[in-house]
Structure 1
Amino acid sequence: MNIFVEQIKAAREGRNYWTGEEISKWQLQQKMLTVDFATHKRIKIQDKNSKI
């Protein structure tokens, strides 16, 4: 199980993965920005490593 994916699913459902509490739209947007940034970073690292 990928915790990162599960956190995203929970956020899209409007709840905190760890506590089950409801989250605001602002918190959801913040989570999605974090995911976008992390995904972008991971892709750049993979691309850099694949060229070696």
Structure 2
Amino acid sequence: MDFIANATSAIFAQGWTPDLQKMVGGKQDAAGLLKAVQEEYLRELAQ
């Protein structure tokens, strides 16, 4: 998944990694994963 590998370190560490783990663990679906990562991306841009 190149798009994950190309994420900034903050978005990777704060968005993709924890939310992907939640999805794999059955605590979140794909739509929730993408929503959470998008929210983290917007937070990162606002800084």
Which band: TM-score by shorter chain?
A: 0.5 to 0.7
Over alpha carbons, which structure has the higher Rg?
Answer: 1
Q: Is 1:12 paired with 2:20? A: yes
Structure 1 gaps, min length 5: 43-52
Provide the alpha-carbon RMSD of the alignment.
Answer: 2.3
TM-score, normalising length: structure 1: 0.49
Where does residue 28 of structure 1 map in the other structure? 33
Supply the distance in 2 between the matched residues of 1:28 and 1:37 (Cα, whole angstroms): 14
**Amino acid in structure 2 at the alignment position of 1:36:** Y
Supply the distance in 2 between the matched residues of 1:36 and 1:10 (Cα, whole angstroms): 14
Secondary structure at the counterpart of residue 10 of structure 1: helix
Alpha-carbon shift at residue 12 of structure 1 (Å): 1.5
Structure 2 gaps, min length 5: 1-13
Aligned residues: 33
TM-score, normalising length: structure 2: 0.53
- 4+ aligned runs moved over 3 Å, structure 1: none
